[in-house]
Chain A
Amino acid sequence: MKLKIELPKRKDELLKSFALTLLALFVVGILLFPVYYMAMLSIKPSGALATTEIDLIPDKVTLSNYKDLLIGHTEGLIKTTDFEINAKDGTIKDSLNRYEIELHEVTIVGSYSSRFTLIDAQVLEREGGEERQEADDTQIIVRGELIKLSAKQVESTGGVKNLKVSAQRIIVKVSSPDEVPLDLSGFTKIDENTYEAQNVEMEIKEGGIISAEEATFTATDFAFIRLAKVGGEVPDYMKRSLLIATLTVILTLIFVIPSAYAFSRLKFFGREHVLYFYLMFTQVSGGLGIAGLVALYGMLVKLHLTNNIFVLPVIYAAGAVPFNTWLLKSYLDSIPPDFDEAALVDGAGYLQIIRHVLIPMSLPGLATVAIFAFIGGWTELILANLLLNQENYPLTVWLYTMLANLRSISWNQFAAAALIFALPVFIMFLLAQNYVRSGLTLGGLKE
């Protein structure tokens, strides 16, 4: 269309064109920056939030925020005395901050009563122990002989003493070289207060806080282990949002198809009045919706219909009747009436005409109405927030309550959740956007 680029012939025009195109690009960048930044945020590792500079391109990309929200992971807590950790990378930090040991391809063996948290834990092998299942899928095993788990991350909840370490590479950073309770004889000094050694074994009497990544954790004669599911709550909310939105679509089509047909094809008393009334309502519906909220709430409480997820689609579909009727009526107006009039002459009933003639012919119009209805049901917040209790929250209300309580979740995960919520709407809008523009001029449509 207008993508063809013609280079202007004169030099000052070329310069002008260059400057203005640059300005146009810059303005696009500014205007879309917030959305871009939110998307970037969602693929950064959790907790990696800059407070001093804006990094436009994340240096580490991860889908773990999405995975945590959609699937979740198992978090283990184990109490044991004898353990062995085999890990790709790990650190041991002295609780008095005298040293910090960085380990690669390491085996840590210990015998000291301690607790560990294991992120993304998976049981590989197990012997003995009493097993107990709790209501929320939490698994507890008490006094087992042996358990072997793989985990993305292992962390001790306090300092662990008497450790034996063997690793391919060890780097020790000390705060002051004079008072280090470590034997650094086999190490070479690589920097100030930093020592390195390859393929060594060492004993760390004072121990410290262990943390390891990509690890296998083996415990013998452990006291207990508790495996709980963390995250993965989004599908639950999504399910409810999807249910509400789907029912809104079905009800909208039931409400709108017959009446759009009647307004488009039949001449009857009061037709113009109702159409004008519907049109006026679409222009002020937002404010009137809030104005009627007090009474609607009172009505539903009296009818015992609060905290009922099936009431919402009816209200959403009913509220959008004027807009959707107009939308579909305008579409039907653009289809020549010859076919359905012929069917009428042949003796078909109105419902037969709608079913066999109009629905097949107006599929794009129906799809648009369905998309609007779906977006309406998927994104509504105020009523759902007012009427539903926590066990019935759809995505919108969950996001809204999270926004008020951001301490409990990282912004990265929140951004991912927000994008999961927005993406279906975005795609549907793009599918229906030509009709949105025509919906804009709805007020200008002639009958």
Chain B
Amino acid sequence: MDKRTIAALALILPGMIAFLFFNIYPILYSVYIAFTNAKLGNFPIQAPTAEPLRFVGLENFKWALSDPKFRSAFVWTWIFVATSVSLKVIVGILLSVLYNNKYVKGKFFYRALLIIPWALPLLFSVMVWRFMFDPVVGPINIMLKNLGVTNPPDWMTSVTWGFIALNIIEVWLAYPFMMTVITSALQSVPDTLIEAAIIDGANYWQRLTKVVIPIVSKPIAFATILTSAASFQYFLVPFIYNAGLFEDRFLLLYGYRKAFGSSVPHYGRAAAILLIATIVLAVYMFVNMRITRLQEGVKG
């Protein structure tokens, strides 16, 4: 090893050791736990009376696949990815088109205001929405009552309405990101190209589908994949909003609750659930990247 490499290593090591010790090691250790019977009594510290910690092979994974709550969480996580991502993309495109329209005055000002949700801590945003959706004092139900809905939905304890509320919250949280990416994509469409299309006699629809969409589709696909990964990893919002209610709706939350949210923690099963979730996410991201060939875009 030459002198320069040693110097570089010395400079990199403090950060890297901390990172490896507190991030990578726990992940590897979690993989190990997923194959053990770790539960209350034998994990983290072995109690003398409890069953000893031992390797159980694929038992936790077999359990997970036959557990109705796990199946429900798995299916609903994907349903959430489908619904929330569609909404996020639609809302993102609509907002970008509106705030990029040449007839709208003061665009710069609106765009500056619209990224406010981005600047707020997530905990605060969820608390704001928790109040918005409060069944009694929340403005949404007050508004519904004023509109003549005699029996407005209970956003807090009904799973169906709560799920809809989570979709709305996620769209609100993600639109600044979607809007920023899509707006910069729209602005990258050269005016000369559109003018040329107008001169050639293309109508609005043709200009949109033949000129604008081919140029902006790649950044939109990029944003869609990133935001769908965020939807799949949806954890903090349901956790703060009502963790018990959404336990069997979101994979990460279910894994967390198996370890820290139940009276009889089962760490091995929790680790198995989280490992499955991580692998599914990795495969999903990999496939998406391959399909859209985004890694070429990443490399510029």
Contact = CB atoms under 8 A, between A and B. Distances in A.
A284 B229 CA distance: 8
Given A259-B12, A266-B8, A429-B118, A288 B267 contact: no
A117 interface: no
Contact of B103 (A3, A16, A53): A16
Contacts of B121: 375, 378-379, 421-422, 425
B105 to A, nearest CB: 5
Contacts of B45: 301-302
Interface in B227-252: 229-230, 232-233, 235-236, 239-240, 252
Nearest to B281: A287
Interface of A is mostly: helix
A321 interface: yes
A420 B232 CA distance: 31
B132 A294 contact: no
Contact of B44 (A54, A301, A315, A378): A301
A239 to B, nearest CB: 18
B128 A34 contact: yes
Contact of B142 (A50, A296, A297, A419): A50
B115 A433 contact: yes
Contacts of A21: 103-106
Nearest to B113: A28
B180 interface: yes
B76 interface: no
Interface string A246-261: 0000010011101101
A24 to B, nearest CB: 5
Interface string B173-212: 0010100110000000000000000000000000000000
A183 to B, nearest CB: 44
A314 interface: yes
Contact of B23 (A23, A271, A318): A318
Interface stretch (B27-35, B61-69, B78-86, B158-166): B27-35
A299 B19 contact: no
B274 interface: yes
B181 A440 contact: yes
Interface in A419-447: 419, 421-422, 425-426, 429-430, 433, 436-437, 440, 443-444, 446
A334 interface: no
Nearest to B101: A20
Given A297-B44, A426-B119, A34 B172 contact: yes
Contacts of B236: 381-382
Contacts of B291: none
A433 B115 CA distance: 10
Contact of B33 (A258, A294, A436): A294
B15 interface: yes
A354 to B, nearest CB: 8
Interface string B4-25: 1101111110111011011101
Interface in B146-169: 146
Interface in B55-101: 95, 98-99, 101
Give the dominant DSSP class at B's interface: helix
Interface in B104-151: 104-110, 113-124, 127-132, 134, 136-137, 139, 142-143, 145-146
B11 A258 contact: yes
Interface stretch (A85-93, A142-150, A359-367, A396-404): A396-404
A50 B137 CA distance: 7
Contacts of A255: 14-15, 18-19
A186 interface: no
B297 interface: yes
Contacts of A5: 105-106
A425 B177 CA distance: 18
Interface in A23-44: 23-25, 27-28, 31-35, 37-38, 41
Interface in A125-181: none
Q: B12, B104, B139, B180: which has the most chain A beta carbons within 10 Å? A: B12
B16 A259 contact: yes
A134 B297 CA distance: 67
A19 to B, nearest CB: 8
Residue with the greatest number of chain B CB neighbours at <10 A, chosen from A13, A28, A302: A28
Interface of B: 1, 4-5, 7-12, 14-16, 18-19, 21-23, 25-30, 32-33, 38, 43-45, 95, 98-99, 101, 103-110, 113-124, 127-132, 134, 136-137, 139, 142-143, 145-146, 172, 175, 177, 180-181, 226, 229-230, 232-233, 235-236, 239-240, 252, 255-256, 259-260, 267, 270-271, 274-275, 277-278, 281-282, 285, 297-300
Top-8 shortest CB links A-B: A255-B15, A292-B26, A295-B29, A318-B18, A429-B119, A298-B44, A258-B11, A301-B44
Given A299-B25, A400-B240, 10 more contacts: A24-B110, A27-B95, A31-B114, A258-B14, A258-B15, A268-B8, A291-B30, A294-B30, A302-B44, A444-B298
